[in-house]
C-alpha cells in the first residue's frame, strides 16, 4: 500500500511524496492517519533549520508526532484496538506521523470512543505531555500561574482545572492570544497582559548586584508588577528565553518548565535563594500518559477545540508553520482528505 507523506527537502522547502506502508508485523497495527497537530516549537525550527545535522531530505513524515486516525489493518494476534477503531498516537512505537499510513506497535496506540473527532484526538499527545509535567508536583488547592497562552498553555489550564487548582492565572503578551483566551469558556480564571513585566528580570538582576536603591522608577514599577501577580506555582509554557527568566520571578515557591528553549536564558539566583524556589521540568512521554489524557477526553473533561484555530490540508504545511511563526494561529491541525489518500 502506498500513501502520501510530507518530506522536508531543505530550509523552508518540502514536498508531498508517495511512500510504501509495509504490512503490520507481529504486535503491530496499521493506522490510516486522519489528522496531525503541528507542534508550535518543533515544526517551526525543523522546517527552517533541519534537524541535528541530518542530511536533506529528512525522513518522510518527520517531524510529525501528534496524531489520530483509524486502525485499518491488524496482524492476527497483535492485540490492541480492532480494525475501525479511532485511536490517538504519538511518536512512540513507529515512524513519524506526517504520513497517510503508518505502522505502530499495538500497545502504543490508545483507543477512543466512536465518533471522536480526529482533529480533537490529535491534540491528546500535547495534553499527555503537559499532564506528565504537572504530575511532577501537586496542584490541588494551589494558586497557579500559566505563563504563555498558546496551545500548551491552554491545554495546561484545562488540566489544572481537572486536577483541582484553586485559582488559575494566565500570563500572555501577544494581543491575539490574549483575546483568544479571554473568549474561551475553558480559559483561566483571570488573564494578565505580561507585557507589564518587561524589564523586571533586568531590574531584579541589577537589584541583586547594586541594591534596590539603584533602580529607576520604571524598574521599580516592573518589579512591583511581578510581585503583585506572583503565584505559588508557575508553569512556564512558552519556551521563550525572556519569559523563562521572568517566570522565575513570578513563582513564589515552585516553577515547572514545560516550554522548551533551544537558546540559553539568564538566571538571577538571588531570588531563587531567597524564596528557596523548587524547579522542575519534564519533556518525556509514555503511552500511559497518552492513555490518561484519552480517558479525560472521553469523560468530557477536555475541550481541544479551545486551542485549535485552524484546520488545513497537509499540502498547506508551509502555510500552517507560517501562521504559527507569526502567531496568527494558536494550534493548527493538518488533515488528509480522502481524495489525497494515494493509490493504496
pLDDT tens digits, one per residue of 223-260: 999 999 999 999 999 999 999 999 999 999 999 999 98
The pLDDT value recorded for residue 339 is 42
pLDDT at 33 over 90: yes
* Residue where a domain stops, chosen among 281, 302, 332: 281
CATH number at residue 152: 3.40.50.720
Residue 58 belongs to some domain of the structure: yes
21 found inside a domain: yes
**Percent of the chain's residues with pLDDT above 90:** 86
Does 130 map to a domain?
no
Q: What is the chain's mean pLDDT, rounded?
A: 93
> Residue 272 falls within a domain, yes or no?
yes
- The answer to whether the predicted template modeling score (pTM) of the entire model surpasses 0.75 is yes
Q: Is there a single domain that holds both residue 115 and residue 160?
A: no
Confidence at residue 78, expressed as pLDDT on a 0 to 100 scale: 67
Residues 181 and 206 in one domain: yes
The number of domains in the chain is: 2
pLDDT reported for residue 267: 87
Quick one: 302 and 266 in the same domain? no
| pLDDT greater than 70 at residue 137 | yes
Do 109 and 146 reside in the same domain of the chain? no
For residue 216, is it within any domain? yes
Measure the CA angle with vertex 160, ends 154 and 165; round to 5°. 135
Whether residue 10 is found in the same domain as residue 53? yes
Q: Is the CB of residue 186 less than 8 Å from the CB of residue 306?
A: yes
Look up the CATH number of the domain holding residue 20.
3.90.180.10
| Mean pLDDT computed over 8-24 | 94
Residue 188 and residue 146 in contact, taking contact as beta carbons nearer than 8 Å: yes
Digit-coded pLDDT (tens) for 164-191: 999 999 999 999 999 999 999 999 999 9
Query: 10 in a domain, yes or no?
Result: yes
Cell of 85: 477503531
Q: Which of 281, 296, 317 is the C-terminal boundary of a domain? A: 281
Range of the domain at 65: 2-125+285-340
Domain contains 319: yes
Contact 104, 26 (CB under 8 A): no
- Asked whether residue 169 falls in the same domain as residue 290, the answer is no
Burial of 117 (0-12, 13-18, 19+ CB in 10 A): middle
The whole-number pLDDT of residue 21 equals: 85
Reply yes or no on whether the pLDDT at 342 is more than 60. Answer: no
User: How far apart (Å, rounded) are the C-alpha atoms in residues 12 and 132?
Assistant: 32
Q: Which of 230, 254, 281 is the last residue of a domain?
A: 281
Domain assignment present for residue 131? The answer is no
Asked if 113 and 149 sit in the same domain, the reply is no
Check whether residue 180 and residue 273 sit in a common domain: yes
φ/ψ region of 230 (left if φ > 0, alpha if ψ in -120 to 50, else beta) reads beta
DSSP string covering 205-261: HHHHHH-GGG--HHHHHHHHHHHHT-EEEEEE-S--HHHHHHHHHHEEEEEEE-S--
Q: Answer yes or no: do 294 and 273 share one domain.
A: no
Same domain for 112 and 249? no
Q: What are phi and psi of 215, to 5 degrees?
A: -80, 145
Between 22 and 163, where is the model more confident?
Answer: 163
Amino acid at each position: 500500500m502506498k500513501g502520501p507523506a510530507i518530506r522536508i527537502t531543505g530550509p523552508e522547502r518540502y514536498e508531498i511524496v508517495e511512500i510504501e506502508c509495509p504490512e503490520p508485523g507481529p504486535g503491530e497495527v496499521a493506522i490510516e492517519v486522519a489528522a496531525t497537530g503541528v507542534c508550535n516549537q518543533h515544526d517551526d525550527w525543523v522546517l527552517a533549520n533541519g534537524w541535528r545535522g541530518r542530511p536533506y531530505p529528512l525522513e518522510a513524515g518527520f517531524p510529525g508526532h501528534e496524531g489520530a486516525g483509524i486502525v485499518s489493518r491488524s496482524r492476527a494476534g497483535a492485540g490492541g484496538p480492532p480494525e475501525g477503531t479511532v485511536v490517538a498516537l504519538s511518536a512512540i512505537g513507529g515512524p513519524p506521523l506526517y504520513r497517510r499510513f503508518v505502522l505502530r506497535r499495538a500497545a502504543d496506540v490508545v483507543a477512543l470512543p466512536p465518533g471522536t473527532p480526529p482533529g480533537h484526538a490529535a491534540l491528546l499527545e500535547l495534553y499527555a505531555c503537559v499532564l506528565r509535567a504537572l504530575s511532577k508536583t501537586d496542584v490541588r488547592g494551589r494558586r497557579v500561574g500559566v505563563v504563555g497562552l498558546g496551545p500548551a498553555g491552554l491545554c495546561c489550564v484545562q488540566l489544572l482545572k481537572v486536577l483541582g487548582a484553586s485559582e488559575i492565572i494566565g500570563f500572555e503578551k501577544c494581543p491575539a492570544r490574549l483575546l483568544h483566551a479571554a473568549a474561551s469558556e475553558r480559559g483561566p480564571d483571570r488573564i494578565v497582559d505580561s507585557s507589564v513585566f518587561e524589564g523586571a528580570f533586568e531590574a531584579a538582576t541589577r537589584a541583586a548586584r547594586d541594591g534596590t536603591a539603584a533602580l529607576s522608577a520604571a524598574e521599580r514599577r516592573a518589579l512591583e508588577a511581578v510581585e503583585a501577580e506572583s503565584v505559588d506555582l508557575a508553569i512556564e509554557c512558552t519556551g521563550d528565553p525572556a519569559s523563562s527568566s521572568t517566570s522565575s520571578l513570578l513563582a513564589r515557591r515552585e516553577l515547572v518548565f514545560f516550554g522548551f528553549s533551544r537558546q540559553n536564558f539568564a538566571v538571577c539566583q538571588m531570588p531563587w535563594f531567597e524564596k528557596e524556589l523548587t524547579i522542575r521540568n519534564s519533556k518525556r512521554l509514555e503511552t500511559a500518559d497518552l492513555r490518561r489524557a484519552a480517558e479525560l477526553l472521553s469523560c468530557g473533561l477536555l475541550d481541544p477545540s479551545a486551542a485549535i484555530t485552524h484546520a488545513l490540508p497537509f499540502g498547506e504545511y508551509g502555510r500552517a508553520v507560517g501562521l504559527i511563526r507569526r502567531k496568527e494561529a494558536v494550534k493548527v491541525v493538518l488533515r488528509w482528505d480522502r481524495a489525497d489518500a494515494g493509490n493504496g
